[in-house]
Amino acid sequence: MTSDPPQLIDNFQHIELKKPVDIIIGQIQHLITSGVLKPGDRLPSERALSEKLGVGRGYVREAIKKLEFYGILKTLPQSATYVASLGVKALEGLIANVLALDQSDINSLLETREILEINAARLAASRADKRDLQELVEAHEIYQRQIQERGVGMADDLFFHLKVAECSKNTVLMSLISILTPDVIAISNKMNVERDGRPQAALVEHQAILEAIKLRDPQKAVAAMEVHMRRAREQFNAGSRTSRD
């Protein structure tokens, strides 16, 4: 019995089956980068998109919701959904899945993220209103359900952070955190940081951040976010070492 030539098998690539939501997001990305969809353009209704794509409206709604979290789409009350009024290059960057970053770039990214996230928590504790707090609680509960059902939930982890940024009432700060979020997801997936109980630990850390913001205590919010960012960095570093071994 002969074995397969190792150099031949290396030419095959692992097949990843995409979910309907990811395919919808990919189509929107293509329409933006190709110029068919421009900042400020109105999207077709959920019903029209569902019929055209041949999928349930739930998939369309989830894709739109995710893109809203990233600030790529904006749905106005009692109105329609629009492409955010950002430059096309900025929109491309927000939807990007993978960036080829070396280790020094990754460290710089994480350092910048820490500065932004810590200040977002501080401002959120001072500025969040009742509705903001309710949405932050809901974001935390979504992450909690993902951990309980699947054991992982990096995207929902970062949705919580985006909600903290929203609570800061600083639109520039929120935009900067939104821009970094896809890069953090890409690096997390590459390094497989969701392991060894980290999602469960992050959930507890989120709870501490949430409680500090609900108490309107900026000092406690900063301390809780600092702990969370430090432990997240440690996990990234551990993942980086493993990926090099």
Predicted confidence at residue 99, as pLDDT, reads 36
62 belongs to a structural domain: yes
The whole-number pLDDT of residue 235 equals 79
The DSSP result for 40-77, as a single string, is TPBPPPHHHHHHHHTS-HHHHHHHHHHHHHTTSEEE-T
> Is residue 136 one of the residues assigned to a domain?
yes
One domain for residues 234 and 130: yes
189 and 165: one domain?
Answer: yes
| Residues 195 and 131 placed together within one structural domain of the fold | yes
H/E element, 138 = helix 130-150
Query: Of the candidates 70, 92, 114, which is a domain's last residue?
Result: 92
Whether residue 11 is contained in a domain is answered as: no
Q: What pLDDT score does 98 carry? A: 34
What confidence score (pLDDT) does residue 97 get? 41
Give the residue numbers spanning the domain of 77: 20-92
Considering the domain architecture, whether residues 57 and 121 belong to the same structural domain is answered as no
Note down pLDDT in tens along the chain; length 245 residues: 556 555 666 666 666 567 788 888 889 878 877 788 888 899 999 999 999 999 999 889 888 887 876 677 888 877 789 987 665 555 555 555 433 445 556 778 888 899 999 999 999 999 999 999 999 999 999 889 888 877 666 777 888 998 999 999 998 888 888 777 767 776 666 666 555 667 888 899 999 999 999 999 999 999 999 999 998 888 777 765 555 55
- 88 and 112 together in one domain: no
Instruction: Provide the domain count of the chain.
Output: 2
Total residue length of the chain: 245
User: Are 117 and 224 in a shared domain?
Assistant: yes
CATH number of the domain where residue 31 is located? 1.10.10.10
Could you tell me if residue 5 is inside a domain?
Answer: no
Are 130 and 175 found together in one domain?
yes
Last-in-domain residue among 92, 114, 133: 92
pTM comes to 0.60
Q: What angle do CA 65, 67, 72 make, to 5 degrees?
A: 135
Using the 3D structure, point to which of 73, 92, 111 is the last residue of a domain.
92
CA dihedral 208, 196, 187, 94 (to 10 degrees): -40
